[in-house]
Amino acid sequence: MYNLDLVTGIIIAANVAMSLKGFDNRTFFERYKFNVGQIRRGDQIRMFSSGFLHVDITHLLFNMLTLYFFAHTVILQLGTLNFIIIYAASLVFGNLLALYFHKDEYWYSAVGASGAVTGILYAAILLYPEMKLYMFFVPIPIPGYVFGVGYLLYSIYGMKNRLGNIGHDAHFGGAVGGYVITLILLPSLFKTDSGHVALLAVPILILFVLYKTGKLH
């Protein structure tokens, strides 16, 4: 049985309300989506508002279900305020990374809470690295830290190969946001669980090396 905390319910309601309006009102959708050209012209609200819009019901449902399953873990350990900080920071950091990698693609657009949700997921894994996760296509439980590392390595692969119509940059940036903010809020993890802290940092170091050596794109 999972708990639906008040703050999680409010965030889910905000995502549902804005996404449904975006489905019905294309002008609204275009006004608040992430778009490199508009952001570089000074429309900074899109860095945040785009995180509450979704492409369709499936996109919305997947993100909100993921948030529902992992939000309480973070709230239980760090509290409501810190949960909000991680969510908001991960959303913005995900979009900042997407903006950085696509800064010269003025047409590039994206929507979705994936960056924020991935940040919460990665924070939960950092707090409880041995948690067991079940995937539709894998019949056995996967330790959280294995999933976290694998997910970010897949995101790097997706970024490098422009795989699918997916914002891999935002996913990766959101995870990094969740990782960094969680460690800032709970630095004792460096002492109590340094092995998992180091392991979960490996994909971040790989991305940095690939970028510095010009092998990312």
Is residue 144, in this structure, part of any structural domain at all? yes
Domain CATH number, residue 10: 1.20.1540.10
Give residues with Cβ within 8 angstroms of 50, minimum separation 6: 32, 33, 34, 95, 110, 111, 112
CA 48 to CA 111: how far, in whole Å? 10
**Does 1 fall in a domain?**
no
Q: What is the distance between the alpha carbons of residues 101 and 217, in angstroms, rounded to a whole number?
A: 10
Domain that holds residue 66: 6-212
Could you tell me the two tokens for 78? Answer: 């760090």
CA distance 135 to 192: 28
Q: How much is the pLDDT for 69?
A: 87
Q: Which residues of the chain have pLDDT under 50?
A: 1
* Closest by Cα among 62, 53, 52, 32 to 44: 32
Query: Where in the chain does DSSP place strands (E)?
Result: 34-35, 109-110, 132-135, 138-143
What angle, 0 to 180 degrees and rounded to 10, lies between the N-to-C axes of helices 80-101 and 114-127? 120
Confidence at residue 165, expressed as pLDDT on a 0 to 100 scale = 54
Provide the number of structural domains found in the chain: 1
pLDDT at 33: 94
Residue 191 domain flag: yes
Residue 155 in tokens = 């995101």
User: 1-5, long-range: CB within 8 Å, 24+ apart, which pairs?
Assistant: 2/68, 2/69, 2/72, 3/72, 4/68, 4/72, 5/71, 5/72, 5/75, 5/80
Instruction: Return the closest-CA partner of residue 115 out of 168, 69, 53.
Output: 168
Q: What is the pLDDT of residues 124-147, one digit of tens each?
A: 999 998 888 776 566 778 888 888
Does residue 217 fall inside a structural domain? no
CA-CA-CA-CA dihedral for 116, 117, 121, 123, to nearest 10: 20
Could you tell me if residue 27 is inside a domain?
yes
pLDDT at 16: 97
Instruction: Quote the DSSP letter at residue 79.
Output: -
Specify the 3-state DSSP secondary structure of 109.
strand
pLDDT, tens only, 169-188: 788 889 899 999 999 999 99
